[in-house]
Chains A and B, each alone.
Chain A
């Protein structure tokens, strides 16, 4: 088990290094921050001074290694716009993003999983068909289209809810729904097929044959087994708590991490972009790690394969 955890941690660290490197290279190759921040017709001396101040005049590999060295010491750099620490800029946006993504996650799990289970238990019924049509639709409609649609109906036409901004909890309703529906749809379809797969297994028939009531079969013999694949999807959703709202934050002018990222990218504000990406990668990697540990808890076959745990 220890070896398993060490291996996963190493892989997690490698993933983060790769993300950071990729972001570094792409950002340096895709435009000059000096020209963007100072504007194109800034005097050449000013541009040169800016480059020197931010170390942009040094060779790329020197920049790369000094950047990494700084990260290891906990220094994620400063914004080129206002010189504030990138980490502070990002950190102060996190609560706003979580205010959308956490309720959206609850919506996804709270609607998606029960809908999928219900559909599987009533396979081919009218309800099953309705759930699946809605799931396909919820999955197929891009979130900016859905967001705009909701704004059109509930903000513009009906005037029930605000269309953007962050002044009260009412402002969060439309973005949360926009975020939640797609995920609920994905989760419903996934849960349904996981349940159908499990319900077709011989051990379900065994449980019925020994006199377990159908309710208890579903609860005790189907749900725990169907949870194993479903956890993967939920884990992925947890991993996107920070980065999953980029589009929706833009549509609803919600001042979260996603919006910060969009602005920072268009400004080539290198330290801020890299800081966001680092945070996103860390969240993803952490949730993957937790999912892996959960697999071991849910599935004794994996526990043994990893050579640990109580067998």
Chain B
């Protein structure tokens, strides 16, 4: 990407000396929707928390996160406070505990309006009401006086989204926004995010376990494994031509498309390595059906494997059949 909105490069994060991100490269273009998938603990959340400086002080963060030509890592606090919510907004997995239980929701949305758009009083109330309306909260005028515990999980997530929209961000990072919600509500929230993106033109990063959801909502998908992006591919190519054996494994772990709700990714044999005990070379090696001796030599780099597709696997191109019986797909 020539001139992305946000470019993360070589992002490394360690907690107490244990590396959990090992050089993440990821770019998000203006208005683009990027999916970020991978098994639990691979570093999806940490990537964006680090980008916004939201990790606890004990985290050691190095690398670079550039927004609009401006470096965010190590940026002064006042700059970060303007970026957070104003340029890049983030919503989280559990909406019920992500809202402050002692403040009315209208006030929590209004706080973002005051910070990023200087709105106060009646103007702020009117805009809060409009935003709650926009995200589909019924009876918004009265609901703004409610406390989070008086709303359902889905409604709270809508409030979170309204709060994120309040600062007119150019990028919304949605960290598993539907994991804590009922299946029917999940679809509504994803629809809402897609609609809002179309209306506002903001970019979207959708973090999820669910490849199907991500491919549906996003233009492009980045797959993470053990603290690295190991494949980047357009949603169109994802199902037809996944390159990395791990991505192939994730896809074959999806249940057939017969209308049953998709399950969490689990069907790859073995388990994710502990961050403090990574194997040498490719971290996926021990679970990889195509592992060869060169895999253990060094950590593979992301390289172009096709137009618009990059993967970090050293045996790609070698004449080995695709793994996990995916040949039929």
User: Which of A138-146, A210-218, A267-275 makes up part of the contact surface?
Assistant: A210-218
Indicate if the CB atoms of B112 and A210 lie closer than 8 Å. yes
Within the complex, which residue of A210, A214, A224, A225 is in contact with B89, where a contact is CB–CB below 8 Å? A210
Give per-residue flags for B75-99: 1 if the beta carbon is below 8 A from chain A beta carbons, else 0.
0011001111110011010100111
Indicate if the CB atoms of B52 and A311 lie closer than 8 Å. no
Indicate if the CB atoms of B92 and A211 lie closer than 8 Å. no
Chain A residues in 8 Å Cβ range of B150: 304, 311
Chain A residue, CB-CB nearest to B92:
A202
Instruction: Decide yes or no whether A299 CB sits under 8 A from chain B.
Output: yes
Given A300-B149, A301-B149, A311-B146, residue A211 in contact with residue B81 (CB < 8 A): yes
Chain B residue, CB-CB nearest to A211:
B85
Instruction: Decide yes or no whether A201 CB sits under 8 A from chain B.
Output: yes
27 A–B contacts, CB within 8 A, in A order: A202-B92, A202-B94, A202-B98, A203-B98, A203-B99, A203-B100, A205-B49, A206-B92, A206-B99, A206-B163, A207-B100, A208-B54, A209-B52, A209-B89, A210-B89, A210-B111, A210-B163, A211-B84, A211-B167, A212-B81, A212-B115, A213-B78, A214-B77, A221-B100, A228-B102, A304-B150, A311-B150
Given A205-B54, A205-B92, A301-B147, residue A211 in contact with residue B99 (CB < 8 A): no
Given A205-B54, A209-B85, A209-B90, residue A298 in contact with residue B102 (CB < 8 A): yes
Chain B residue, CB-CB nearest to A303:
B147
Chain B residues in 8 Å Cβ range of A203: 97-101
Docked CA distance A211–B167 (Å)? 9
Indicate if the CB atoms of B86 and A206 lie closer than 8 Å. no
Give per-residue flags for B100-116: 1 if the beta carbon is below 8 A from chain A beta carbons, else 0.
11110000000110011
Instruction: Decide yes or no whether B42 CB sits under 8 A from chain A.
Output: no
Docked CA distance A206–B175 (Å)? 12
Instruction: Decide yes or no whether B144 CB sits under 8 A from chain A.
Output: no
Question: Which A219-238 residues sit within 8 Å CB-CB of chain B?
Answer: 220-221, 224-225, 228
Docked CA distance A304–B147 (Å)? 10
Given A209-B52, A211-B85, residue A300 in contact with residue B101 (CB < 8 A): yes
Chain B residue, CB-CB nearest to A300:
B147
Instruction: Decide yes or no whether B164 CB sits under 8 A from chain A.
Output: yes
Given A202-B94, A300-B147, A304-B149, residue A211 in contact with residue B115 (CB < 8 A): yes
Docked CA distance A224–B149 (Å)? 17
Docked CA distance A236–B45 (Å)? 42
Closest chain-A Cβ to B146's Cβ sits at a distance in Å of: 7
Instruction: Decide yes or no whether B228 CB sits under 8 A from chain A.
Output: no
Chain B residue, CB-CB nearest to A207:
B100
Chain B residues in 8 Å Cβ range of A298: 102
Instruction: Decide yes or no whether B230 CB sits under 8 A from chain A.
Output: no
Within the complex, which residue of B146, B147, B164 is in contact with A210, where a contact is CB–CB below 8 Å? B164
Closest chain-A Cβ to B180's Cβ sits at a distance in Å of: 11
Docked CA distance A17–B98 (Å)? 45
Docked CA distance A282–B146 (Å)? 37
Closest chain-A Cβ to B143's Cβ sits at a distance in Å of: 11
Closest chain-B Cβ to A139's Cβ sits at a distance in Å of: 28
Docked CA distance A225–B112 (Å)? 20
Within the complex, which residue of B77, B115, B160, B167 is in contact with A206, where a contact is CB–CB below 8 Å? B160
Indicate if the CB atoms of A213 and B81 lie closer than 8 Å. yes
CB-CB nearest 9 A-B residue pairs: A211-B85, A210-B85, A211-B84, A203-B100, A300-B147, A202-B97, A209-B90, A202-B98, A206-B98
Chain A residues in 8 Å Cβ range of B115: 210-212
Chain A residue, CB-CB nearest to B107:
A220
Closest chain-A Cβ to B116's Cβ sits at a distance in Å of: 6
Chain B residue, CB-CB nearest to A210:
B85
Docked CA distance A213–B19 (Å)? 28
Chain B residues in 8 Å Cβ range of A221: 100, 103
Chain A residue, CB-CB nearest to B88:
A209
Docked CA distance A225–B89 (Å)? 24
Most chain-B CB neighbours within 10 Å: which of A201, A205, A211, A300?
A211
